[in-house]
Amino acid sequence: GDSVTQMEGPVTLSEEACLTINCTYTATGYPSLFWYVQYPGEGLQLLLKATKADDKGSNKGFEATYRKETTSFHLEKGSVQVSDSAVYFCALTSPGYSSASKIIFGSGTRLSIRP
Amino acid sequence: DGGITQSPKYLFRKEGQNVTLSCEQNLNHDAMYWYRQDPGQGLRLIYYSQIVNDFQKGDIAEGYSVSREKKESFPLTVTSAQKNPTAFYLCASSIGGGGADTQYFGPGTRLTVL
């Protein structure tokens, strides 16, 4: 079945460091890909998304490119801030599904940024 | 402002009691969802509803029940049959029930069984 695999955390970086959180997927058809962010004690917020191959999603300095050839959707940021500390979830949905139930989440990657 | 609200933020329950978690949205979305999140883990789907008066079981529906009497409301009841209910519960909604629709999440309810 469809699945999402994220790099395990926690990831700890210093402020202004470069960030990459790896995400790869297995899916039938042509899924849409998402990154969600969860700040401590809160719900999930959509960070960015891409709906077709080679699309780049971007928001708040974060970027991710839909790579069909490598089935990847890695999250990147050039210079992280303390306020970026959160848990990041990669997810996919496929328009081929007949119901709304099939959003598949990765297990999440906790990111901590040191001042 | 449009959004999804969940209440209460924190909820404590004694063993053997049923408890109901509230979820309301004013986004005019047709589809609504309930997820459970355990520490260090991803989200697991409990129930979802694509339209008023209709809902389907997700991956872990046992011990839970829902209703969808109004478009904007999708309450979740955690029954005494749920053996390990302590978790963080997240409600979400999307415009339609299509698999590619973006889901938007509420702030969550943390349930603790005493």
DSSP string, B76-91: EEE-TT-S---EEEEE
Tokens standing for residue A5: 């695999």
What span, in angstroms and rounded, lies between the C-alpha atoms of B10 and B109? 6
A22 versus A40: the higher-pLDDT residue is A22
What span, in angstroms and rounded, lies between the C-alpha atoms of B105 and B94? 9
pLDDT reading at A74 higher than 80: yes
Q: Which residues of A touch B40 (CB under 8 A)?
A: 107-108
User: Amino acid identity of B73?
Assistant: S
A78 touches B at CB < 8 Å: no
Q: Which residues of A touch B58 (CB under 8 A)?
A: 101
Chain CA centroid to CA B96, Å: 17
Q: What pLDDT is stored for residue B88 in this prediction?
A: 93
Q: What pLDDT is stored for residue A64 in this prediction?
A: 98
Contact A99 B43 (CB under 8 A): no
Question: What mean pLDDT is predicted for residues B45-72?
Answer: 94
A105 versus A57: the higher-pLDDT residue is A57
